[in-house]
Amino acid sequence: MRIIAKHAAGKVLKSDGFQISADAKLAKKKDPSIIDGTLGTFYFEDGSFKTFQTVHKIMNQLNDEDIYLYSTSDGGPAFKEAILEWAFKHTRKEIEASLSVAAIPTPGGTGALTSAVFNSLDPQETLLIPSPCWGPYVGIALNRAFKIEKFFMFDGDAFNMKGFVEKSEKIIATEGKLVVIINDPCNNPTGYNMTKAELEAVIDYLNTKKEVPCVLIYDCAYIDMAVEGMKKTRENMLAFTKANENILISVAFSFSKTFFIYGQRLGGQILLSKNKESVMEYYNAANYTARNTWSNCNKGMIRVLEEMTKSPALMAEYQQELDEVIAVLNTRAELFKKEAKQVGLQIYPYQGGFFITIPCDNNMLVSEKLVEEEKIYLLPFDNSVRVAICSLPQSDLKGLAEKIHRVIKKYN
Ligand SMILES: Cc1ncc(COP(=O)(O)O)c(C=O)c1O
């Protein structure tokens, strides 16, 4: 007798980043010389984790009602105002002039992705994702009986437009619609930033499919970690203003990353389209999904976002803290990239963010041998291993490329 539902039977979380990272953390407690480059959380050079002081300051000023009461499933008008300000900054007017816009809070970026995928596909339809990509994209699809198709992300050092189009054509031919996730900027796992021209090329291609409903899920979890800063990253999103009526863009925003509030669970789903009805339909479905799945989101964090967005002084304080984080990330990336070049270790194109990724076919064996022979914990991704520079101080990064290179040469 099998008690569990058919759709749930056999589902086991395997090779999950959280689990591998917990193992690495435990091992490091016993042996501090272990290098733990597994999880995407920012640690300062002294090995400490801290959220932003500006976040703390606002939290400390909130009263019990602000923190402990329910919020509404749609977040309310003040949330909408705050997230649109944050997500689009100086481009907001231009975005709103050419597209209908709606927004709803979600438990992290994961909630925004889950809701977007769930409300875009019917069972047995296909989600297109890049390879390599963040692992849960696969589970988000498979958990709800959707299929996945992958396209390789790179053509040399650029976005693989040809691969993206080939796989899109195949899905469109059989299913008559296209739903794709793109993670940009500071792509996880590679650190790649798409250029505005590349984003425009994606939109231009979808525009040619006039009769085909297309959903572009733009996962911008690490947008605020980009070296280029908030102005440039928002300007790139102006590419969306070119999208025709057949396209709906669902932006997945993660305050886990932007505010370093990982376990507090706040994100947002922003819906954009020239087709006003589609935006309203998606918004209503997202609100229905929210109320009947997680009910509502972290009220305290919603209030932090609202307060910070309203206050130029608080924004300036946060920006100063953020600039320091980005400078640290940049120094770490430069160090690793320089040493990788010196020893001839190939990496995927990196422009910013938390991770640098090394192509290697035998990723599982290489990950195991890195632990056994060098006490280095990294996460295996599709044909690659990922170094979380966000969590490694420069003292750990120094010499790391050489050790990884040695193991890859031996076992790949
Ligand atoms: C690429 C990517 N997208 C989305 C998320 C979701 O973040 P969260 O749900 O923690 O906000 C993550 C988190 O690691 C990520 O790496």
Q: Which mean pLDDT values do the consecutive 10-residue runs of the chain (412 residues) have?
A: 93 84 87 92 95 97 97 97 98 98 98 98 97 97 97 97 98 98 98 98 97 98 96 97 98 98 97 98 98 98 98 98 97 98 97 97 94 94 96 97 96 86
pLDDT at position 405 is 97
Helix (H) or strand (E) holding 159: strand 158-159
Q: Token digits for 383? A: 């044909």
Residue closest by Cα to atom 14 of ligand 1: 40
Q: Is the beta carbon of 300 within 6 A of some atom in ligand 1?
A: no
pTM, rounded to two decimals: 0.97
- C-alpha dist (Å) from residue 54 to 48, 313, 315, 318: 17, 10, 8, 6
Q: How far apart are CA 37 and CA 224, in angstroms?
A: 21
Atom of ligand 1 nearest to the CA of 183: 1
Q: Where are the alpha helices (DSSP H) in 272-344?
A: 276-291, 299-310, 312-343
Dihedral-angle region of residue 170 (phi above 0 means left; psi in -120 to 50 means alpha; beta otherwise)? alpha
Q: Is 267 touching ligand 1 by the criterion CB < 6 Å?
A: yes
Instruction: Name the CATH topology of 17-51+315-411.
Output: Aspartate Aminotransferase, domain 1 (3.90.1150)
Structure tokens at 322: 């953020």
With 0-12 / 13-18 / 19 or more C-beta atoms within 10 angstroms meaning exposed / middle / buried, residue 124 is exposed
Ligand 1 pocket, 134 CB below 6 A? Answer: yes
Three-class secondary structure of residue 357 per DSSP: strand
**Structural domain spans, the chain:** 17-51+315-411, 63-311
Q: Looking at residue 17, what is its pLDDT?
A: 80
CATH code for residues 63-311: 3.40.640.10
Beta-carbon count within 10 A of 31 CB: 8
Residue 269 CB less than 6 A away from ligand 1: no
Cα(117) to ligand 1 centroid in Å equals 15
According to the model, what pLDDT value does residue 18 have?
81
Q: Is 106 in the pocket of ligand 1 (CB under 6 A)?
A: no
